[in-house]
Amino acid sequence: MRVRLFGFKVVFAFGLALSLGGCFLEKAVVEQPPNTMSAEDCGTCHKNEFREWKKSPHAQAWVSETFRQQTDGYQTTKCLTCHRPDPIYGIEDPKKITARKENANEGVTCVTCHLTPESEIGGPHLVLPAHYVKSSDDYYLDSKQCGVCHQAHYQDWKKTEKSMVSKKLETCQDCHMPAVRRKLIVEQLFQYVHWENDTKKHTFEPQPDPISKAEPWFVATHRILPLHRDGLPIEVVIRHNLPHGVPAGIFGFKTVDMLVTLKTAEGLTVEQQHLVFHAENKKNMPIGQDYKKIFNFSKEVLVKAEYIEISLSRRNSRLHLGKQIFIQQTRL
């Protein structure tokens, strides 16, 4: 029995040594400072996070054709630092961010958020890390980490953090990095000495659905106003429960399209009106206020229409059809 137990320990220790050796032989993981570390270096072990990041807006921050055009071929220097930043840990003044020289095409990459001034990699972990780790750091769960670049969103959030829609969604990370329980390392023998941990998704997209039906992102109502010679006026009132304007931000092509559609009982479109909210033009749905708009429809719709459908779709490109973020259908 003792021989078998000893043999198991030897095999396990040998496998662990090989695994650790594999990680530590990756020079970029442990060099001082590890600023040259690429997202692919991190992705050799952190495959889930790398896969999510690669499809995210952060990964496209530098190579985006829209960004290249809007900066005249990267000539607008004030924009460059947040689109390929050096590590931002602890920085609160955006003017102190510097542009990263290494792996510029990766945009906002792993070292941007996770590398500390002490050359440690911050984030949740259990058991043995494969690199220097700054653990149990609440900074990674604080909105100010996101706010150093996303200033417009951050200033909005600071004004409204006490009146959030849900106490379960209090920070940028709560909405844009939904919680997920999984292993941080899912490759090489090292994965066998790690177990599931509370982590965050790295897609950086907003949560697709509200946390409960009692706490919706948007609430819409309508009322039919008296007929006049120009047609049938319908007032639409919409309010959102988000801690920033919709759409948010002040730079780049960010729009929300509102469609107000009158439909038959069978669901066929009778008439449709379109309204665009554009962040760059400072035309958005304000925080904590009702947005009211009167849409004029033709009188003939009263004969056919039974339902009114109000929908919102978010777009980041003129060519993109957009992603629906709200839809509601009620009787006229």
- Report how far Cα 23 is from the mean position of its chain's Cα atoms: 30
| Percent over 70 (pLDDT), the chain | 76
DSSP type of residue 176: H
Give the rounded percent of residues in the chain with a pLDDT score beyond 90: 42
Which neighbouring-strand residues pair with 296?
233
Distances (CA, A) of 286 to 39, 173, 323: 37, 21, 20
- For 66-109, the pLDDT digits (tens) are 889 888 999 988 889 999 999 999 999 999 999 999 999 999 99
Mean pLDDT, all residues of the chain: 82
Question: pLDDT category, 306, cuts 50, 70, 90?
Answer: very high
- Higher-scoring residue by pLDDT: 80, 19: 80
**pLDDT, position 83:** 95
CA dihedral 318, 324, 328, 332 (to 10 degrees): 30
Residue type, 254: K
Please give the residue that has the higher pLDDT: either 17 or 35: 35
- Segment 9-13 shows an average pLDDT of 47
Tell which wins on pLDDT, 231 or 19: 231
Q: Which pLDDT score, from 0 to 100, does residue 322 have?
A: 75
CATH class of 218-331: mainly beta
Determine the pLDDT at residue 162: 54
pLDDT tens per residue across span 128-176: 555 656 656 788 889 999 999 999 889 988 888 655 556 667 889 988 9
Query: What tens digit of pLDDT does each residue of 273-295 get?
Result: 999 998 877 788 988 889 999 99
What pLDDT, on a 0 to 100 scale, did the predictor assign at position 48? 94
pLDDT of residue 284: 87
Predicted structure pTM score: 0.80
Predicted confidence at residue 328, as pLDDT, reads 95
Position 33 scores a pLDDT of 60
Q: What is the distance, to the nearest Å, from the Cα of residue 68 to the centroid of all Cα atoms in its chain? A: 21
pLDDT of 119 over the 90 cut: no
Q: Which whole number is the average pLDDT over 228-239?
A: 91
| Whether pLDDT at 19 is above 50 | no
* pLDDT of 288: 82
Where helices occur in the chain by DSSP H, the ranges are 2-24, 27-30, 39-43, 47-54, 65-70, 77-83, 110-114, 143-147, 151-160, 172-176, 301-304
CA angle 314, 315, 318 (to 5 degrees): 155
Domain extents for the chain? 30-200, 218-331
